[in-house]
């Protein structure tokens, strides 16, 4: 029984290793696009929290703009080439989501720091989003830059080896 379980687990584990980062990328994209669209159309349950947190902006303008940014982050997670910039935008966004802890403490905690309200829990769960973003960044940054460098090297080689081009190939 234990051998069967281990065999099944390791078989699934190989598949999870192969697909888990993309699954995380798609999941984060869905969350960002969904929550962003809600803000754009004025249907977000977080609208009041945003309005109270950034009270110096007009909410009828700021909340839809925030929603557009969230949709862009979601779309950026779906397009591998945009992941490095998207991860930076996501981390800046996640930093801003911590503002209510400092501006609206009573909305976030019944007893600081061990008894968060529902709003506080909503914000704390963003740690999972940040962790997921860092996993994605770790997977795609290396590949992204390697791909860009390879394309640049190939373009240099193509320029130097065009028919009729009698340049001598040199290492730079």
Q: What is the pLDDT of residues 8-43, one digit of tens each?
A: 888 888 888 888 999 999 999 999 999 999 999 999
Task: Note the pLDDT of residue 18.
Answer: 81
Burial class (CB in 10 A: 0-12, 13-18, 19+), 12: exposed
pLDDT in tens, 147-168: 777 888 888 887 665 566 555 5
Q: Please determine, for residue 2, whether its predicted confidence score (pLDDT) is greater than 80.
A: no
Q: For position 136, what pLDDT does the model report?
A: 92
Structural tokens at position 106 = 């009573």
- What pLDDT is stored for residue 107 in this prediction? 92
Judge contact between 35 and 93, C-beta under 8 A.
Answer: no
| pLDDT number for residue 11 | 84
Instruction: Map tokens 């403490």 to a residue.
Output: 105
Please compute the mean of the pLDDT values over residues 87-105 and round it to a whole number.
94
Average pLDDT score over residue span 48-77: 94
Average pLDDT over residues 90-117: 92
Q: Is the pLDDT of residue 169 over 90?
A: no
Distance, in Å, from the CA atom of 20 to the CA atom of 151, rounded to the nearest integer, reads: 27
Instruction: Kindly tell me if the per-residue pLDDT of 68 is higher than 90.
Output: yes
Checking if the pLDDT of 142 tops 80, the result is no
Q: Which stretches within 41-115 are classed as H helix? A: 47-53, 59-78, 83-96, 99-103, 105-108
In the chain, pLDDT over 90 holds for what percent of residues? 58
């Amino acid at each position: 029984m234990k051998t069967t379980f281990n065999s099944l687990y390791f078989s699934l584990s190989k598949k999870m290793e192969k697909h888990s980062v993309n699954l995380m990328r798609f999941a984060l994209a869905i969350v960002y696009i969904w929550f962003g669209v809600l803000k754009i159309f004025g249907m977000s349950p977080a609208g009041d929290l945003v309005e109270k947190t950034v009270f110096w902006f007009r909410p009828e303008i700021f909340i839809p703009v925030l929603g557009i940014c969230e949709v862009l982050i979601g779309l950026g997670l779906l397009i591998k080439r945009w992941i490095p910039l998207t991860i930076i935008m996501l981390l800046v966004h996640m930093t801003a989501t911590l503002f209510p802890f400092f501006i609206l403490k009573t909305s976030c905690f019944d007893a600081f720091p061990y008894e968060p309200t529902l709003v506080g829990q909503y914000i704390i769960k963003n740690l999972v989003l940040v962790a997921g973003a860092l996993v994605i960044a770790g997977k795609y940054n290396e590949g992204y830059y390697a791909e860009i460098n390879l394309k640049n090297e190939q373009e240099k080689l193509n320029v130097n080896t065009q028919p009729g081009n009698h340049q001598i190939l040199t290492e730079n």
